[in-house]
Structure 1
Amino acid sequence: MERKHYIDNLRWIAILLLFPFHTAQIWNGGEYSGFYIWSHTNNFMYAFSTAVYPWYMTLLFVIAGISSKYALKKRTNKQFIVERSKKLLIPFVFGVLFLVPVMTYIAEIFFNGYTGSYINQYILFFTKETDLTGYKGGFTPAHLWFLLYLFVISMIALLVIQIQRKRFPKLCVDKFSYGMLILLFIPEWLMLYVLNIGGKSIGQFLMLYLTGYYILSEENILQKLKQYRFISLGLFLISVSAYTYLYCFGNMRNELGTGLFVFFGWTGILTLLGVGQLYLNFHTKLSEYFSHASFPIYIIHQPVLVVVGFFALKMSVGITIQFLLIALLSFTATIVIYEVVGRIPYVSMLFGIDRRVK
């Protein structure tokens, strides 16, 4: 089967987008809007992060579902489980124990005026009462929630797939019209309320994973998305404009806003899959590098960014310079760390790096 390089490219591009996205969080919509450090509200940064959030994580779950379709054609169930454990579960446990406390240490200093040692803060990390965000200190899975969710969802989906293969072996889902594809945002919206933990729904992401596996991996469906890409783009641009304005400046926090949030994210996925087939289906040394590095970059990037941001905010320079310094320096430092740990036996596995990949 010919590899769809645009799927790989969409994944690493979305992950690299986390550098400007999480940097913008430092100037998001209020001290308690959610990040480990905060300067003040900047409307452009607030709008930017609001416009990115609804589609980039959902896209990653859809891509994971599509990728698992191809993976299970070449791997046994046991091989799939072992691979996912090495890539997701081991880095999650390691990251929560050794990477995430770095961010909560910074948060304790920044928001709570903490003056104790890192070791004492490490004890606080496991004992302090917390809302699981860690934005003001205390235990949190932080950005590594994605690894845990993806592992759990992968295992649930594997069970669903095995049942489907036995009970409904001739399941056909490639006849969806484009209009039906658009309307799939409705079941996603409904599933948003299933096992929603801190605003991150296992039900929603499982739905997206299975949609990627069963529907958006089908060639007929992908051709429809390419054919109707301009309609998807139009719906995406209208919904992103409406949602961003109403959320940031209209204080929209109701059920209609939630529906618009889901619709906006879903049309973004359809647009990217349609447009990506035309413009992102390439393979270069750079794209291959970031395809292999994307998950380790995801694991490493946020602790680095929070530390860089903590010191950058002390500099007497404008927002633009601070933003560029934080995004570029954290990106550079993340790549350096990736290159270093990737060369250390056993340690590389803790960061989800496959040392067999050249």
Structure 2
Amino acid sequence: MKTQRRYDIDWLRVIAIGLLLIYHIAIIFQPWAMFIGFIRSDDSLEGLWAPMTMLNVWRIPLLFYVSGMGLFFAMKKRNWKQLLKERSTRILLPFAFGFVAIAPLHIYLFQQFYHMPLSYYASSGHLWFLGNIFCYVLLLSPLFFYLKKHDNGNFKKALSKLMSYAVGPLSMAVFFMFEIAIVKPQLFELYAQTWHGFFIGFLAFFFGFLFVYSGETFWKTVSKWKWLYIGIATVLFAIRFTGFGDISNMYLTTVESNCWIFGVFGLGYKYLNKPSKLLSYLSKAAYPIYIIHMAVLFAGAFIILPLKIHPLLKFIGVLAFTFIFCFLIYEFILRRINILRPLFGLKWKFNKKENGVEQLSKPVQPN
């Protein structure tokens, strides 16, 4: 079955991963960086944390939403066996490889920076996200295939009707509030390798699928009401950032988080749903770059932080180093060495003969 590609969702995935890199680089310049396993600059730039505080309640949930949407499109042209095989290759294999080869590399750089004894401990590092996604695929695929089979059922009609109202998408925040009440996280933005991160990711992944499943109604709603969502999110962020008494709490943060995301979806649907050569390149590069970025970031910090320059120049230097070398590694190593491609979420390139001439087939970009 041929499906129409949603370029705005591809763009949002690329943008979210780009923001993730910037966010992780900003952590290096915070005084508490070492406590969460990051190399820390002796010269802090705490002013960087103001915009990061706005980002950190929706950047990871956005990726989970987008991942759930991607599964919907993948299921349109695959049965459950094909889906499990494809997701195992694309998610589980890079996760397993990263667990034993990528995460230990940036842990090693951390130990070298602080002249610590060399040691190894099993950790998925920043790749915890992939492990979560694969679990969601296993847990939710039976339900999703059931919904696919009953594509014209009453549930879809009711869901589509609900999504036609501005409050429809936002009503899902109630489930995120239940998660807060049950799990009681220490911090809303503490996602990595926590039960809070697992369950909030589960909900975002689940509703990401449902939003696309509901049809065009959801997209028309978020496009129409995007500025309302962004306005609500801005007010709630101002309350959270100023710490205005007891008004600021994690229940309100769930509303803020989802409002930012729905506003972003609305902007993307209106302005980004168009193909481009740049997007075609970046959408393939984003996943491998996500996998390697922590090791590259730590290498950049290892080299640049000891320099006797202004801390803002150090930040710019680490930022430039990370982006440049991530793309160089992707362009000249990961995408060109065939045996490495599946380890970093890329498809094999197969040789095939056409009209007696052997050619290199173009890999199909999965949804």
User: Which category describes the TM-score, using the shorter chain as reference length?
Assistant: 0.7 to 0.9
2:279 counterpart of 1:287: yes
How far did residue 345 of structure 1 move?
2.1
Alignment of 1:78-93 (within 5 A): 78-93=81-96
2:238 counterpart of 1:235: no
How far did residue 58 of structure 1 move?
0.6
Describe the shift of the 1:59–1:200 C-alpha distance in structure 2 as closer, same or farther (beyond 3 A).
same
2:120 counterpart of 1:146: no
* Pairing partner for 1:344 from 337, 341, 344: 337
2:294 counterpart of 1:297: no
**Could you state the TM-score of these two structures normalised by the residue count of structure 1?**
0.85
* Pairing partner for 1:179 from 134, 152, 167: 167
Judge conservation of contact 1:62–1:212 (CA < 8 Å) in 2.
yes
* Runs of 4+ with >4 A deviation: 163-169, 192-197
Q: Which amino acid aligns with 1:345?
A: N
2:303 counterpart of 1:315: no
**2:18 — aligned with what?**
16
What is the count of residue pairs matched by the alignment? 333
Q: Which amino acid aligns with 1:152?
A: C
* Pairing partner for 1:209 from 202, 205, 208: 205
Judge conservation of contact 1:37–1:107 (CA < 8 Å) in 2.
yes
Query: What's the C-alpha RMSD, in Å, of the aligned pairs?
Result: 2.4
How far did residue 125 of structure 1 move?
1.6
Deviations 1:302-349 (A, max 9, x none): 110011112211011112211111111111111111121221122211
In structure 2, distance between residues paired with 1:240 and 1:35: 27
How far did residue 190 of structure 1 move?
1.7
**1:67 — aligned with what?**
70
Judge conservation of contact 2:64–2:204 (CA < 8 Å) in 1.
yes
**Could you state the TM-score of these two structures normalised by the residue count of structure 2?**
0.84
Describe the shift of the 1:78–1:209 C-alpha distance in structure 2 as closer, same or farther (beyond 3 A).
same
Q: Which amino acid aligns with 1:59?
A: L
Higher mean Cα deviation, 319-328 or 213-222? 213-222
* Pairing partner for 1:220 from 184, 201, 217: 217
* Pairing partner for 2:142 from 146, 159, 174: 159
Deviations 1:107-127 (A, max 9, x none): 22445x31x4xxxx3xx323x
Q: Which 5+ residue runs of structure 1 have no aligned equivalent?
A: 127-138
In structure 1, distance between residues paired with 2:149 and 2:274: 37
How far did residue 96 of structure 1 move?
1.4
**1:77 — aligned with what?**
80
Q: Which 5+ residue runs of structure 2 have no aligned equivalent?
A: 186-192, 350-361
How far did residue 174 of structure 1 move?
0.8
